[in-house]
A and B are shown apart, each in its own frame.
Chain A
């Protein structure tokens, strides 16, 4: 069964305190790994697509990396506006299988 596991479930950072979120997956034949951001009361918003091990994508303070078993979302010098739930997803037997997300809080 296709599975996506994210850790930690919640993360509280001080403004400027860099950290990483983890997404591990079990899927037969990886066809990409996708990161989304979800703000409270909103729908998820697409951030990145990664297709192969070693690939990296960057957007402002966020950098996503991919290995054969997992992906990391690195957050450098976060700001309060980076507070959100970050979701990762993979195509499986259904269009996209999502993890439960990591709820990030950045305190000023």
Chain B
């Protein structure tokens, strides 16, 4: 019974390149959340998606960042023209229903982006 799968686990990019992070939610989960964690900082909400819909993107920077969760395949967080400040751990989580109901999000192990 696979949990939330994220890949790649580690990604190195040079400034100006693109980063694509993938997340496959737990089986049966249709809600996906992306969080960013900087060293010594807490988890910061970025975006909440259901299949084919962005429900809440209030935490996502307006430029260079985008997210999708297509009908088929994983959710993707895309960062264009990366800068050093984008270096962080990006966590994906999933839930079967709205997380605020139970608070139980199932997290992946994260993708660690390093921008040189």
Show the binding face of A for B, using Cβ within 8 Å: 4, 31-34, 41-46, 49, 87, 89, 91, 93-101
* A96 engages B99 (CB within 8 Å): yes
Determine which of A33, A43, A94, A100 lies in contact with B109 in the assembled complex, contact meaning CB atoms within 8 Å: A43
Q: Assess the B56–A43 pair: CB atoms within 8 A.
A: no
Give A16 to B43 CA distance when docked, in angstroms: 30
Q: How far is the CB of A47 from chain B (nearest CB, A)?
A: 10
Q: Tell me, in angstroms, the Cα distance from A40 to B41 when the chains sit together.
A: 14
Question: Is B100 located at the chain interface by the 8 A CB criterion?
Answer: yes
A-side contacts of B56, CB under 8 Å: 94-95
CA distance A44 to B107 in the complex (A): 6
How large, as a class, is the contact surface on chain B? 20 to 34
A49 touches B102 (CB 8 A): yes
Instruction: Tell me which residues across on chain A come within 8 A of B4, comparing CB atoms.
Output: 43
- Return A55 CB to nearest CB of chain B, in Å: 13
Cβ of A32: which chain B residues have Cβ within 8 Å of it?
A: 100, 102-103
Q: Can you identify 8 A-B contacts, CB atoms within 8 angstroms?
A: A41-B110, A43-B91, A43-B108, A45-B107, A91-B103, A94-B59, A96-B99, A98-B35
Distance, CA A43 to CA B93, complexed state (A):
9
Q: How far is the CB of A98 from chain B (nearest CB, A)?
A: 4
Q: Which A residues lie within 8 Å of B100 (CB)?
A: 31-32, 91, 95-96
B69 sits at the interface (CB 8 A): no
B109 engages A87 (CB within 8 Å)? no
How distant is A21 from chain B, measured CB to nearest CB, in Å? 14
**A10 smallest CB distance to B (angstroms):** 11
What does the 1/0 interface line of B102-116 toward A look like (CB < 8 Å)? 111111111000000
Kindly state the separation between the CA atoms of A43 and B108 in the bound complex, as whole angstroms: 6
Contacts of A43 in B (CB 8 A): 4, 91, 93, 107-110
Residues of A within 8 A of B44 (CB): 98
